[in-house]
Amino acid sequence: MPAPTDRAYATVTGNLASLLGISIASARRRVDQQAAREEIRDISGRVAIAERMIKQASGSSQAQTRLLDSLLTAETNEANYLDED
């Protein structure tokens, strides 16, 4: 039987999962893998890693949003173009 998870750890991994659009288990696995790379074993360190990953993901998602907005803007010469079916 797995040990019960810390409430703060469950919260930040849930936030990371919703931000990335993945399952909570996948977000937890990503945090655990990063913690293993950095040789961090305690829950407070894993919470810090998850918070850092949230900051990185939110920064990149804002950049992706701006890029998508710029790509969806119609060109001036194509603004009134209608396609026939």
Tokens 């469950």 sit on residue: 10
pLDDT at position 4 = 53
Q: Is 53 exposed, middle or buried (0-12, 13-18, 19+ CB in 10 A)?
A: buried
pTM to 2 decimal places: 0.68
Instruction: Tell whether 66 is covered by a domain.
Output: no
**What is the domain range of residue 26?**
1-59
Q: What percent of the chain has pLDDT over 90?
A: 54
pLDDT range class, residue 76, cuts 50, 70, 90: confident
Instruction: Tell whether 74 is covered by a domain.
Output: no
Q: For the chain, how many structural domains are there in total?
A: 1
pLDDT at position 9 = 93
pLDDT at position 38 = 94
pLDDT at position 60 = 73
Instruction: Tell whether 79 is covered by a domain.
Output: no
Question: Is pLDDT at 63 greater than 60 in this prediction?
Answer: yes
